[in-house]
Amino acid sequence: MTKPTGAKHFFRPVAILGVLTSVFVVSSLFGPPSLKNVAITNVAISSTGHWLAAGPRDSKVDICVIDGPANCRTVNNNGGELNDLQFSPDEHFLAIANDDIRLIGLAGDAASFFLREDHRKYGTVRFNKGGRELLTINSHSEIELFDISSRKPSTRICCSTFYGEVALFEDGTRVANAGHWPRVWTRSGQLIKSLTEYRQNETLRPISVDEKGRRIFMGSQDGRIYAWSLIDFGLLNKSRAEPGYVDTIALVPNADLLASCSFGKPIHVWSTATLARVAALQASCSSNIVTLPDGVSILFGTDSGTVQIWNLEGSPHLTSEVRISGKRSRTAEIGIQRGRRDE
What percentage of the chain exceeds 70 in pLDDT? Answer: 83
Output the CA–CA distances (angstroms, integers) from residue 92 to 98, 127, 324, in the order listed.
20, 12, 21
Distance of CA 159 to the CA centre of its chain: 22
Q: Is the pLDDT of residue 167 over 90?
A: yes
Q: Please tell me the predicted confidence (pLDDT) of residue 59.
A: 77
CA–CA separation, 191 and 174 (whole Å): 10
Q: Report the first-to-last Cα separation within the chain, whole angstroms.
A: 50
Q: Mean pLDDT over residues 40-54, rounded?
A: 96
Lowest mean pLDDT among 5-9, 73-77, 130-134: 5-9
Confidence of residue 37 (pLDDT cuts 50, 70, 90): low
The answer to whether residue 176 scores a pLDDT higher than 60 is yes
Tell me, what's the pLDDT at 233?
Answer: 97
Q: In 10 A of CB 278, how many CB atoms?
A: 15
Q: What pLDDT does 5 receive?
A: 35
The two beta strands, 51-55 and 61-65, are antiparallel
Average pLDDT over residues 193-205: 97
Q: For residue 108, what pLDDT is reported?
A: 78
CA distances from 328 to 33, 106, 178, 332 (A): 12, 18, 38, 9
CATH code for 13-330?
2.130.10.10
Does residue 201 register a pLDDT over 80?
Answer: yes
Question: What pLDDT digit, counting tens, does each position of 73-131 carry?
Answer: 999 877 789 999 999 999 999 999 999 999 999 987 889 999 999 999 999 999 999 99
In this predicted structure, the answer to whether residue 41 has a pLDDT above a threshold of 70 is yes
Give the pLDDT confidence of 251-280 residue by residue, as tens digits.
Answer: 999 999 999 999 999 999 999 999 999 999
Cα–Cα distance for residue pair 94/112, rounded to 1 Å: 9
Instruction: Round to whole Å and give the CA distance between 205 and 219.
Output: 6
Q: What burial class does residue 201 get, using C-beta atoms within 10 Å of its C-beta: 0-12 exposed, 13-18 middle, 19+ buried?
A: exposed
148 pLDDT higher than 90: yes
CA-based torsion, 127, 133, 134, 137: positive or negative? negative
Higher pLDDT: 12 or 49? It is 49
Q: Is pLDDT of 28 > 60?
A: no
Can you give the pLDDT at residue 280? Answer: 96
Local confidence band at 335 (pLDDT 50, 70, 90 cut-offs): very low
Q: If pLDDT is split at 50, 70 and 90, which confidence band does 68 have?
A: confident
Helix (H, G, I), strand (E, B) or coil at 54: strand
Closest listed residue to residue 105, CA positions, set 155, 43, 63: 63
Residue 31 pLDDT greater than 50, yes or no: no
Instruction: Classify residue 239 by its DSSP letter.
Output: P
Instruction: Please tell me the distance from the alpha carbon of residue 337 to that of residue 343, in angstroms, as a whole number.
Output: 18
Question: Would you say 250 and 261 are in contact if contact means Cβ atoms under 8 Å apart?
Answer: no
Spatial CA neighbour of 320 closest among 11, 29, 83: 11
The full DSSP string for 156-189 is: EEE---TTS-EEE-TTSSEEEE-BSS-EEEETTS
Q: Is 95 left (phi over 0), alpha (psi -120 to 50) or beta?
A: beta
Ranges of each domain in the chain: 13-330
pLDDT score of 127? 98
Q: Looking at residue 325, what is its pLDDT?
A: 58
Does residue 149 contact residue 132 with C-beta atoms inside 8 Å?
yes
